[in-house]
Structure formats: structure tokens, C-alpha cells
């Protein structure tokens, strides 16, 4: 794990703004190409699986999709095994996962692909441990990045300052020279403002106002109760109230846990009490969460997290962009968290960064153009899933062109047919787990099954009840 990564050519120093999961994965890739990689992070970074101020969402329910696990195992051999040793659950991404839609459970389907059930804190801590062990990676935490240094149409470094007593005493900012700077500072990224200051256009930004909030809590997990690793409650036009239940690794006291969350859009939010969670779970026909909220041992207190809008910044459409600079992770696109896509998208963007660097990071090779185009292809499918799913809900504002209406109507029928059809349920889960693109659900063989399911005995009754 501490070996020097092989690379035919080394390119000085790279700097990364933000030690988020995206930042850590960028460091893993850049360590293959640069003599030194420096991560600059505002928060003091914990040694283990502990929360920090800059990521308040990290204690909320998080899912590492099956595709994300595949990528992380490739970047960090033995990654899954290390988390299983810490108590994570490891099983089939379909057989150990149940999906509810419109108050009904989809048929169970084995996918033949493994997935992990564990906390975001454990995942991030394991990535951070492995990145810190790389011999050419250095972490500067507890620092404020003032701005990248821009000279002659390229970024040449980062100006930064410590956040401790030295900073308060008036210490001068420092400059870290770098051949490449990558902004992984998240949704609040200042890159659009910096670009305008440097004389470039800022990227166009797409937003979908979701106004979602969910109340979540940790509960003690008894062996075999329930006999699943994860239960996903999808938001649908008839029932726009998502839910999630995921098994977690034991806490510091050795208690095995569940994390459960129930949510709603645009003001339809759940009070932060276990009683309110139980009531919402009964309303949406989620028996596992209802039973936990009513009877299980509560670990800590219920908590709420709000998310105003999904956003995507279209860097790939910019005609001019400074050399020596990239933007990655939530600074590129951040999605409604109910779809659980963030960590997996960051992992896939890391692979896009590796491919873009294969031609070298020199400005004449068009690194930014290559990376942003590849990253846009990574983002396209999860953005389509999240935005399409949200715009299917009448409570979410936004334009709905006819193609979106047509696709959402079809997906609604597919979900209803998948209650009785494990083939359709498996195909749907593959898209959810980012193992297949959304267009795969339009395959003729699946469309036939949807049509056939619509006309099976009792289907009309189920569809009327769902409506």
C-alpha cells in the first residue's frame, strides 16, 4: 500500500482543493503521474470514521452503489474486504436489497454483483487511510484556500493560509506552486467566481429545485432483523415520500446498527422524533422502518438533513478554460441524495481523470477539454435518473418536455409490473446501482414484459390503487 505507483513520466506537483471523497480519489489518480500531490482541506481530518464540520451530511444514510464498489476495489485492492473486516455487510446487489414503490415491494432479483452496506464515515475513512499511505501524497488540513494563482492563461498554484492561531495573529498567506490544481471543494465551489475574476466565462448551471428533507436515525440491529442489507423506498408521483434503510458496521461501542431515513419534498417533512418516523413509515407501508422506530433501541437522536436543489455546472461547454486547472466531484454536479449516486459518481470521475491524464497533463494536450468531456459522460446517466425521477413528481417545479413525460410514464408502468416480475425488477436495480444505463430499460424484451404485466390479472386494480 505504501509502494510508489508506476508512471512512465512524472510531472512535478499537483494540488487538490478539498479532501472530500472526490478529492481523495483525485489524489489517488494524480499520485500515478506527479512527484508530489498535496491535499488542502479546511477541516482538521480525523484519523478514523468520525464526522467533521465540512460534511454534515456524512452522518446521514449513504449508499455505495455496486458500480462504486467495483471502482474502489480496482483503485484500492482489498477495499471491500477491509470494510467487511470492520463489520460492513457484503452481498448481492439485488438479492440483499429490496425496493418499494407506491407502497408495494418489487420482486426480488439476484444480480450476481456484490455490494457493500456500511456508513459513509467508514467508506471515507478507509479511502483516506489508503490515500494518506501513498508516499507522494501530503495533506495540509486546517487551512483556508484563498484562491488559485492564475498567470498567463494558466493556473500555477494555490494561495492558502492556516486557520489556527498563526492565521489569527496575522501570518502572511503562503503560495504552493503546482503544475495542476483540481477543485474538489463541493457544491459551494468558488471556481465560477474565480473564472470570472480571471476573465473567463463561468459555466452554465442547471438546477432542479427539490426542497427535500429527510429525518433519519440509528437503531440497534439484532441478528437477522430484518433479513436484508438495504430497503429502498422510491418516491413516485402517487407517493412522493422516499425512504431508506441500510445496515451499518458496528459503532465504537460494538453495537450493530441500522440507519433509517424517511423524507418528503417541498415542505412535506417529518419531525425529528422516532414517533414521527414510525408514523411516516406506516403511511408509506415500510414495515421494517416502522418496527425499528417503534420498538428498537435508538442510538443517538433523530436528525434532519435538507437539500434545496440538484445542480450541474457545464464546464464541458466552455470554449476557454485556464490550463493547469480542473474541477471535479460535487463542484461539477451534485444530485438529490435519495438516489445515493454521489460517491459512485466521484469514483467514476476518478477513472475519467486517469484516462484524461493518459496523454499527459501538459496544457498543449488539452487536459481540461478531455477531462470535462469524459466527466460529462459520467454525469449524464445519474443526472438523467435523478432529474427524471424528480420531475416525475408533481410537487417538483420545472419544465417537463414531452419526452420526459413519456419516459416517466413508462417507468411508472415498469415499476408496477416489476412487483410481480423479477426480470423487470432486476433490470431496474441494475440502473439504480449504476451497472446499466437508463436506456437499457427501453430494450424491446423489457418493454414487452411491461406491456404484458400491465395486462396481467389484477394489474388494473393495482394501477388504480397506485394512482
Residuewise pLDDT in 10s, the chain (467 residues): 333 333 334 579 999 999 999 999 999 999 999 999 999 999 999 988 888 888 888 899 998 999 999 999 999 999 999 999 999 999 899 999 999 999 999 999 999 999 999 999 999 999 999 999 999 999 999 999 999 999 999 999 999 999 875 555 567 899 999 999 999 999 999 999 999 999 999 999 999 999 999 999 999 998 766 778 999 999 999 999 999 999 999 999 999 999 999 999 998 999 999 999 999 999 999 999 999 999 999 999 999 999 999 999 999 999 999 999 999 999 999 999 999 999 999 999 999 999 999 986 665 459 999 999 999 999 999 999 999 999 999 999 999 988 889 999 999 999 999 999 999 999 999 999 999 999 999 999 999 999 987 656 544 333 433 33
Q: With helix as H, strand as E and coil as C, how does the chain read?
A: CCCCCCCCCCCCEEEEECCCHHHHHHHHHHCCCCCEEEEEECCCCCCCCCCCCCCHHHHCCCCCCHHHHHHHHHHCCCHHHHHHHCCCEEEECCCCEEEEECCEECCCCCCCCEEEECCHHHHHHHHHHHHHCCCCEEEEECEEEEEEEEECCEEEEEEEEECCHHHHCCCCCEEEECCEEEECCCCCCCHHHHHHHCCCCCCCEEEEEEEEEEEEEEEECCCCCCCCCEEEECCCCCCCCCEEEEEECCCCCCCCEEEEEEEECCCCCCCCCHHHHHHHHHHCCCHHHHHHHHHCCEEEEEEEEEEEEEEEECHHHCCCCCECEEECHHHCEECCHHHCCHHHHHHHHHHHHHHHHCCCCCHHHCHHHHHHHHHHHHHHHHHHHHHHHHHCCCCCCCCCCHHHHHHHHHHHHHHHHHCCCHHHHHHHHHHHCCCCCHHHHHCHHHHHHHHHHHCCCCHHHHHHHHC
Half-sphere exposure of 30 (CA within 13 A, CB side): 33
Q: Residue 392's Cα: distance from chain center in Å?
A: 21
Give the closest residue to 42 by CA, choosing from 130, 175, 162: 162
Give the C-alpha distances (Å, rounded to integers) separating 216 from 275, 285, 298.
12, 17, 11
* 380's grid cell: 449524464
Task: Evaluate if pTM is beyond 0.85.
Answer: yes
Give the C-alpha distances (Å, rounded to integers) separating 30 from 39, 257, 356.
11, 36, 11
pLDDT of residue 164: 72
pLDDT of residue 458: 47
pLDDT of residue 223: 76
Q: Is the dihedral of CA 298, 302, 305, 306 positive or negative?
A: positive
* 311's grid cell: 445542480
Look-up: residue for cell 488539452?
366
pLDDT of residue 228: 81
pLDDT of residue 54: 81
pLDDT of residue 32: 96
pLDDT of residue 53: 83
* CA 346 – CA 361 distance, rounded (Å): 20
φ, ψ at 393 (rounded to 5°) = -90, 125
> 101-130 burial by CB neighbour count: b if 16+ within 10 A, else e?
bbbbbbbbbebebbbbbbbbbbbbbbbbbb
Amino acid at each position: 500500500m505504501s509502494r510508489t505507483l508506476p508512471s512512465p513520466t512524472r510531472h512535478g506537483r499537483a494540488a487538490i482543493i478539498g479532501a472530500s471523497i472526490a478529492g481523495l480519489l483525485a489524489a489517488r489518480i494524480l499520485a500515478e503521474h506527479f512527484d508530489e500531490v498535496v491535499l488542502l482541506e479546511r477541516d482538521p481530518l480525523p484519523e478514523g470514521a468520525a464526522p467533521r464540520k465540512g460534511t454534515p451530511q456524512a452522518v446521514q444514510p449513504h449508499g455505495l452503489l455496486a458500480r462504486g464498489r467495483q471502482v474502489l476495489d480496482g483503485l484500492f485492492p482489498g477495499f471491500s474486504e477491509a470494510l467487511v473486516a470492520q463489520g460492513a455487510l457484503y452481498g448481492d446487489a439485488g438479492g440483499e436489497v429490496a425496493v418499494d414503490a407506491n407502497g408495494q415491494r418489487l420482486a426480488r432479483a439476484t444480480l450476481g454483483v456484490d455490494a457493500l452496506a456500511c456508513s459513509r464515515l467508514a467508506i471515507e475513512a478507509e479511502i483516506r487511510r489508503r490515500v494518506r499511505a501513498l508516499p507522494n501524497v501530503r495533506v495540509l488540513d486546517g487551512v483556508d484556500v484563498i484562491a488559485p494563482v492564475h498567470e498567463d492563461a494558466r493556473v500555477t498554484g494555490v494561495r492558502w493560509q492556516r486557520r489556527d492561531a498563526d492565521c489569527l495573529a496575522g501570518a502572511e498567506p503562503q503560495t504552493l506552486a503546482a503544475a495542476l490544481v483540481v477543485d474538489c471543494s463541493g457544491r459551494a465551489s468558488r471556481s465560477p467566481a474565480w473564472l470570472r475574476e480571471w476573465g473567463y466565462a463561468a459555466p452554465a448551471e442547471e438546477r432542479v429545485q427539490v426542497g427535500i428533507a429527510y429525518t433519519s436515525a440509528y437503531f440497534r440491529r439484532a441478528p437477522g432483523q430484518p433479513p436484508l442489507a438495504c430497503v429502498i423506498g422510491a418516491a413516485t408521483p402517487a407517493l412522493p415520500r422516499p425512504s431508506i434503510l441500510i445496515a451499518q458496521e458496528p459503532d465504537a461501542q460494538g453495537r450493530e446498527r441500522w440507519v433509517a431515513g424517511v423524507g418528503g419534498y417541498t415542505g412535506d417533512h417529518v419531525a425529528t422524533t422516532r414517533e414521527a418516523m414510525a408514523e411516516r413509515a406506516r403511511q408509506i407501508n415500510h414495515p421494517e422502518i416502522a418496527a425499528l422506530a417503534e420498538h428498537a433501541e435508538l442510538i443517538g437522536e433523530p436528525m434532519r438533513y435538507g437539500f434545496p436543489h440538484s445542480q450541474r455546472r457545464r464546464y464541458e461547454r466552455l470554449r476557454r478554460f485556464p490550463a493547469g486547472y480542473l474541477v471535479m466531484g460535487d463542484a461539477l454536479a451534485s444530485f438529490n441524495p435519495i438516489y445515493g449516486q454521489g460517491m459512485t459518481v466521484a469514483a467514476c470521475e476518478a477513472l475519467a481523470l486517469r484516462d484524461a491524464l493518459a496523454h499527459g497533463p501538459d496544457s498543449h494536450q488539452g487536459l481540461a477539454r478531455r477531462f470535462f468531456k469524459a466527466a460529462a459522460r459520467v454525469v449524464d446517466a445519474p443526472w438523467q435518473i435523478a432529474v427524471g425521477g424528480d420531475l416525475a413528481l408533481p410537487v417538483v417545479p420545472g419544465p417537463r418536455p414531452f419526452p420526459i413525460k413519456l419516459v416517466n410514464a413508462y417507468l411508472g408502468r415498469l415499476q408496477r409490473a416489476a412487483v410481480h416480475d423479477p426480470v423487470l425488477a432486476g433490470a431496474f436495480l441494475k440502473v439504480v446501482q449504476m451497472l446499466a444505463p437508463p436506456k437499457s430499460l427501453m430494450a424491446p424484451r423489457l418493454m414487452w414484459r411491461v406491456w404484458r404485466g400491465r395486462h396481467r390479472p389484477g394489474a388494473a386494480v393495482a394501477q388504480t390503487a397506485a394512482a
